[in-house]
Amino acid sequence: MFGFYRVASAVPKIKVANVKYNTEEIVRLSLSADKENASLILFPELSLTGYTCGDLFLQSRLKESVLKGLKATLQATASINIAIILGFPLEYNNSIYNCAALLQRGKILGIVPKTNIPNYREFYEKRWFSPSYALTDAAEIPLMGENIPFGSSLVFEYNEEFKVGVEICEDLWGPIPQSSFHAIAGATIIANPSASNELVGKSEYRKSLVMSQSARCMCGYIYSSSGVGESSSDVLYSGHAIIAENGVLNVENSRFALDSEIIYTEIDCQRLSSTRKSESSFYDTLLNINGFSSKIKNYRRIKLATLNSPSDIKKKINPLPFVPSEPEPKTRRCTEIFNIQSSALSKRLSHLNAKKSVVGISGGLDSTLALLVVKAAHEKLKKPLSDIIAITMPGFGTTDHTYNNALALCKSIGCDSRINDIKEICELQFKILDLDKGKLNTTYENVQARQRTMILMNTANETGGIVIGTGDLSEIALGWSTYNADHMSMYSVNCGVPKTLIRYLIEWYASTADDKLKNILLDIIDTPVSPELLPPQKSGEITQKTEDIIGPYELHDFFLYHSIKYGASPEKIRFLAGLAFKEKYDALTIEKYLRVFIHRFFSQQFKRNCIPDGPKVGTIALSPRGDWRMPPDASYEEWLN
């Protein structure tokens, strides 16, 4: 379903060296996961026997029990589609290997031996196990009447999106994890059967390793570690299950459970594949290092049979992908964004030796953030705030509410606040154009927007300053600006910040401000977004509400994020939006505004082709000089169809 695959990480209740009991539990959990339409289930390292068997690994009886357990597992799961990864010891050529096997529909499709064998402090695996690089002659191994692919360089493939590589426990902890090679070889899913014991603080480090490796490899990473049922002679195993996706923690368990448990999530393999295609350096690093290229070329690819497909998606889809969801990351992220904006402007002001910063203030979100950024830039440069020329330019649509907020904001900041009423000069333009003032068309609106820009530009010329643009990333995507008016400036500080994030930035700034400024900022946040180019209602309320015209910005930002960052199709974006906003918008509303987004995004590229300089803030930007190159006359029929 749109590239989503449900995966499971299981921590079974086990008994050390009791293969029959462990096999029954593995089968039970596999059947349960199959009923949940999971495509893949992962069990811990040496899960058939238990990790803590010690010298029992050298006993022939344990070897015999393992073969019986494998055979029983294959028979019990022969009629289900789920792929099963479990761990067991395997003897070959008088050596024992710590292995993971992938089983599906009654067959062992491949066996991966562990590469890095820990032999320090509480670990002494080399007493029993040989590393994968000790294998010199085995591409296949005879087992239960079959010749089975055997080695550390295997990728299990279902299609171009779902490809699985396996590394075992310590393989992740080394300087170059085996999963790095697997990912370069095409694996979008990494499975790690592990037996990491528990120490104070180790779980957080373990989780950070999984998350960072999933980001570095642009993959889904499934981790399952041995549980409390292991021997507690010297250490304890907590049964840590983690599933991460491209640097983000999707789900983890609470550890220390006494009974078996499974965690599930969906991984968007289509998105992972798309991300890799757009990051051209992904395949460069290892291939350019001597010897690594041949290693990647030697990977063997094993075909998976038909996999389960989820009938629904249980994974939570973030409706505000640009906005940090947790309080602490939000504070940290907002501080960083604000520093990027203000530092970039500081550099430009310093380079130009600009005497003044000129910015138009409307009492709306964008100009408010721009003014706060300009203030911070002047403070960085130790330039007086009086060198900020903040111009409020009331027109035919300006309401008392936004006008008073604009003046109060400027006064609170302590800048050079000016008022230039544009109504008279606009009426002169109407006269020149022979435009009926009662004809409230696009020309009526754009005359006002261009007059404001002209005043700002001329003021900058006269005072030796530069005009600071206020338009944001959402407006740039939608082309919601007047060409050669608010579309233009000498430096644009908000061009990398979408509308949904601007609200949060101002809210964050308000939380750090004194009560007077805080109240002004919170009132601005609560004011409807509007260009205020049409006359207000008789009650003085805003007539022209942007989101009533083009749709909610939270929807457009969602569409922007998934279409640009991951190249998602309109059908997939509609599907994801339906999940993310299921409590707020119905399917018809989502489709209506997705069509608006597609139409405007394509048709307004000509404006993006000549936008001013400005700092990139997040992973998405639309500068034609850097991130987004697109012909302005491209057809959007395929997208709308």
- Residues annotated catalytic, as ranges: 45, 114, 169
| Separation of alpha carbons 285 and 281, rounded Å | 7
| Separation of alpha carbons 9 and 304, rounded Å | 19
Residue with tokens 């055979």: 71
Is the Cα torsion angle 330, 336, 337, 338 positive or negative in sign? positive
Q: How many CB atoms lie within 10 A of CB 81?
A: 17
- Contact of 99 with 87, CB cutoff 8 Å: yes
Ramachandran region, residue 413 (left: φ > 0; alpha: ψ -120 to 50; beta: rest): alpha
| Separation of alpha carbons 214 and 247, rounded Å | 5
Q: Nearest CA to 169 among 140, 142, 129? A: 129
Residue with tokens 């290892």: 286
Is the Cα torsion angle 475, 479, 481, 484 positive or negative in sign? positive
| Separation of alpha carbons 546 and 70, rounded Å | 63
Helix (H) or strand (E) holding 601: helix 587-603
Task: Give the Å distances, CA to CA, from 543 to 295, 397, 547.
Answer: 65, 8, 12
| Separation of alpha carbons 615 and 139, rounded Å | 52
Find the length of the chain: 641
Residue with tokens 């330039």: 383
Indicate the pairing of strand 491-492 with strand 465-469. parallel
Helix (H) or strand (E) holding 7: strand 4-11
Say which amino acid occupies 231.
S
Beta-bridge partners for 465: 356
Indicate the pairing of strand 40-42 with strand 4-11. parallel
Say which amino acid occupies 553.
Y
Structure tokens at 555: 């929807």
Rg (CA), the chain: 30
| Separation of alpha carbons 237 and 195, rounded Å | 7
Angle between helices 499-512 and 327-352 (to 10 degrees): 90
- Contact of 521 with 509, CB cutoff 8 Å: yes
CA angle, residues 337, 339, 341, in degrees to nearest 5: 70
- Contact of 106 with 146, CB cutoff 8 Å: no
What letter would DSSP give residue 316? Answer: P
Which residues does 127 contact at the CB level (< 8 Å), separation at least 6? Answer: 55, 119
- Contact of 12 with 48, CB cutoff 8 Å: no
